[in-house]
Amino acid sequence: MKTIRLTAAQALITFLTQQFTRLDDGSEQPIFAGVWAIFGHGNVAGIGEALFQVQDQLPTYRGHNEQSMAHAAIAFSKARQRQQIMVATSSIGPGATNMVTAAAVAHVNRLPLLLIPGDVFASGLPDPVLQQAEDFSDGSTTVNDAFRPVSRYFHRITRPEQLIQALPKAMVAMTDPALCGPATISVCQDVQSLAFDFPETMFEKRVWGLRRQGPDAHELAQVLSAIQSAERPIIVAGGGVRYSLAENALMDFADRHRIPVVETQAGKSSLPSGHAFNFGAVGVTGTSCANTLAKQADLVLAVGTRLQDFISGSNSLFTGQVVQLNVQPMDSVKYRALPLVADARIGLQSLSSHLAAYQSSTHWLSVAQQAKIEWEKIQQAAIAFEKETTIPSDSQVVAAVNECASDNAIVVAAAGSLPSELHKHWNSSTVGGYHLEYGYSCMGYEISGGVGVKLAEPTREVIVMVGDGSYLMMNSDIATAVSLGLQITIVVLDNRGFSCINRLQMATGGANFNNLLQDTHHQELAKINFAAHAAAMGANAIHVNNIGELKSACLDAQQRDGVSVVVIDTDPLHATSGSCWWEVEVPEVSPRKTVTEKHEQAVAARQQERGY
C-alpha cells in the first residue's frame, strides 16, 4: 500500500479538496466551496497552515464571529440546494461554542455543514489549557461535547489515523438526503500537527451524487388508493421539494392533477407565486386562503416537510388524511400519516404515472379560487396606507420592497415579525426567490445568511430584511460583505424592540414588559442610528422616512455596487392575521385576570388538536 506522510490537518484538508458532487446534468463540481475561519491557538498552527497550502483550490474566508460565519456557510448550502457545502473552523473554547448555535440551525433545517473546532491536547499534558472548561467528574469531556446533540455525526480526533474512518462517515451525514445535517470533526490541537503515513487511496477523487430513493410498492399502493378517493386534496410543498430539485415535478403534478399547492417557509418559491395552482403560505404564518384549504382538504399530500407546529397549527390545521412523502422515515409517520418514503421528485413522478387522469373536483377548485379572492382583499387592506407620512407596518414595507425587487431577487430573513409578513406577502416570480431560516428561527442569521446566499448566487439580487433586534444581535457581517465586494441590499425595520414577542405577550394576557425598548428597565433609551452604524462598517447607508423614500432607496441600491443599508421606522403593533391556532402555554394561576382568562381560552382551543 502506497502512503503519503501528512499532518492530520493536512490530511483532513487534502481529503476535502478531493470530494466532488455529481449534478443532474452529469457534470461535476467540488463539493466544498470554501472554508470560513477565525483562527486561534487551537487551530491556527495546524488547520491554518493546511488551509494556507490549498488556498487556490479551497478558498478561506475570514469571519468576524464564529456563529455568523457558520450561518453564512449554512445559507450557502441552502441556496445551493444542498449540492455544495462550506466549512467553518474555530479555535477551542468560546470560538467553538459560538458555533454550537449554528450547528443547531443546520441540524433543525436538515442542511449540510462541516464544523472543525479545535480541541484540547490529546496528550493531556498541558492541562488545563487556556479556554479549557474542566469537568471534575469526567476528564475526557470538553466544551466540544456540546456539539453532540446538534450534529448528525460527531467525532473527536485524538489520533491522526482516526481520520481514515471518520471523514467518509462525515461525508455520508452531510450528503445522504435522509440524514443530511451538520458533521463535527473536533480535532485536538496537538493532533492537528502530528504526522502519519496515510494511504494514498484516501485522497483519490470521490464523487457524491444525490441518492434518489424510489417508493416501496406497498406504500405506493396505499397512497394511490387514498388520493384516488379524495375529492378535496391539497399539496403542502416543503423544503424537500427544493433539496431534491423537484420544482418541475411539483409543477407538472399540480398542473396534471389540478391540485392546489400551499407552501411552508422552506418550501416557498418551489412554485412561482403567479402559478395557477400556487395558493400561498400555509400555517401560523400563512394566509387565510391556504389555511381555509388546509382545514377543508380531505387529503393532505405533504412533500418534503417535517410539519412542525407552525405549519400544522399545533396539529390542528389538517383534518383530512395526511400522506407524508419524505426521504426520512421518522418524518413519514408524523400526524398518523400514510408514509411514502421516497425522494420528492421520484415520488411525485411515480404517483403521477399511476394516477393517470385523476384530478381534484371542479367544485374544490372553485372553493380554492374563492378563498384566494377573499385573501387578496385582506392582503390589499393590510398593505394599503392612508397617507405617506403614516409610520408603515411591516407588511407595507415588505410589499414596497417586493415591488422594487428584480424578477431574480432572493429575499433573506429569519426571525421576529418578518417571517410572518414575508410568508404571506412576498411574491417570488422565479423559483428559489425566498430564503427563510425558520426551522430554528435564529435571530442574527439574516445578514450573515445574505452573505452566504450571495456567494452561492452571485448573479441574483439579494435582499436581506432584518428587524432592529436581530440587527443588534449580529451585524458584523456587513463588514464581511463589504470586504468581499458583495452587492447586497439590507433593509432594517426599526420598531424599537422585539415587537413579535411583545404581541405574543399581549395575546397571552401579559403586560407589555421587557420586549419593546420603552417597556424595559432603563434610565434613558439609547438613540440608535442604524444608518450611521452601518456606514461605519463601509456600507452605503440611509434612513428613509416613508414608503416612497424606501422604494427610491431600494431602486438606487440595485444600481450601486457594494452593500446598501436602508433603515425605516415601522409600527410595532400591527401584524397580518393568518387565522390559524398555535399552542402557547398560558399560566393557570395569576393575580391578573387577563392571564387566567387567556389560559381558559387556550385550554378550550387545545381541544381542536387532533390526537396521535
Q: What number does CATH give the domain 217-374?
A: 3.40.50.1220
389 pLDDT higher than 70: no
16 pLDDT higher than 90: yes
**What are the DSSP E strand ranges found in 231-368?**
233-237, 261-263, 278-281, 299-303, 321-326, 338-341
CA–CA dist 114, 355 (Å, integer): 41
- Residue 611 is predicted with a pLDDT of 59
Instruction: Give the tens place of pLDDT for each residue, 256-296.
Output: 999 999 999 999 999 999 999 999 999 999 999 999 999 99
CA–CA dist 450, 465 (Å, integer): 9
**What are the DSSP E strand ranges found in 342-487?**
410-413, 434-436, 462-467
411 burial level (CB within 10 Å; 0-12, 13-18, 19+): buried
Which grid cell sits at 434? 425566498
317 pLDDT higher than 70: yes
CA–CA dist 55, 108 (Å, integer): 31
The DSSP output letter for 146 is G
Cα 442 to Cα 8, 294, 414, 438, distances in angstroms: 34, 27, 6, 7
Helix (H, G, I), strand (E, B) or coil at 342: coil
Every domain range in the chain assigned CATH 3.40.50.1220: 217-374
The closest alpha carbon to 320, from 582, 612, 610, belongs to 610
- Residue 581 is predicted with a pLDDT of 83
- Residue 388 is predicted with a pLDDT of 64
Mean pLDDT of the 216-242 span: 98
Give CA 533 to chain center in angstroms: 27
353 pLDDT higher than 70: yes
Residue type, 330: M
The C-alpha cell 502530528 sits at 194
Helix (H, G, I), strand (E, B) or coil at 528: coil
Q: What is the fold, at CATH topology level, of the domain defined by 3-209?
A: Rossmann fold (3.40.50)
Helix (H, G, I), strand (E, B) or coil at 339: strand
Mean pLDDT of the 356-372 span: 97
Q: How confident is the model at residue 504 (pLDDT cuts 50, 70, 90)?
A: confident
612 pLDDT higher than 50: no
Instruction: Give the tens place of pLDDT for each residue, 66-102.
Output: 999 999 999 999 999 999 999 999 999 999 999 999 9
Question: What are the residues facing 489 on neighbouring strands?
Answer: 463, 564
- Residue 465 is predicted with a pLDDT of 98
Cβ(512)–Cβ(506) below 8 Å: yes
Cα distance from N-terminal residue to C-terminal residue, the chain: 56
Instruction: Give the tens place of pLDDT for each residue, 103-148.
Output: 999 999 999 999 999 999 999 999 898 888 888 999 899 999 999 9
519 pLDDT higher than 90: no
Neighbouring residues of 185: CB distance < 8 A, sequence distance ≥ 6: 12, 114, 115, 116, 155, 157, 163, 166, 167, 170
pTM, two decimals, is 0.96
Angle between helical axes of 547-558 and 394-404 (0-180°, round to 10) = 40
Phi, then psi, of 567 in degrees rounded to 5: -110, 135
Residue type, 603: V
- Residue 387 is predicted with a pLDDT of 62
Mean pLDDT of the 499-511 span: 88
Cβ(232)–Cβ(364) below 8 Å: yes
Buried b / exposed e across 67-100, counting CB within 10 Å, b at 16+? bbbbbbbbbbbbbbbbbbbbbbbbbbbebbbbbb
According to DSSP, the β-strands at 19-22 and 206-209 are parallel
- Residue 50 is predicted with a pLDDT of 98
Mean pLDDT of the 537-559 span: 97
Other beta carbons within 10 angstroms of residue 522's beta carbon come to 9
Phi, then psi, of 315 in degrees rounded to 5: 65, 30
- Residue 578 is predicted with a pLDDT of 72
Is the bond into 160 cis (omega within 30 degrees of 0)?
no
Q: How confident is the model at residue 518 (pLDDT cuts 50, 70, 90)?
A: confident
Every domain range in the chain assigned CATH 3.40.50.970: 3-209, 385-569
538 pLDDT higher than 60: yes
CA–CA dist 445, 293 (Å, integer): 32
Cβ(191)–Cβ(222) below 8 Å: no
Cβ(484)–Cβ(474) below 8 Å: no
Helix (H, G, I), strand (E, B) or coil at 612: coil
Helix (H, G, I), strand (E, B) or coil at 270: coil
The closest alpha carbon to 531, from 515, 542, 520, belongs to 542
Task: Tell me the longest C-alpha to C-alpha distance in the chain.
Answer: 78
Helix (H, G, I), strand (E, B) or coil at 546: coil
CA–CA dist 210, 8 (Å, integer): 29
Neighbouring residues of 136: CB distance < 8 A, sequence distance ≥ 6: none
Q: What is the mean pLDDT of the chain?
A: 95
Instruction: Give the tens place of pLDDT for each residue, 429-445.
Output: 999 999 999 999 999 99
CATH architecture assigned to 385-569: 3-Layer(aba) Sandwich (3.40)
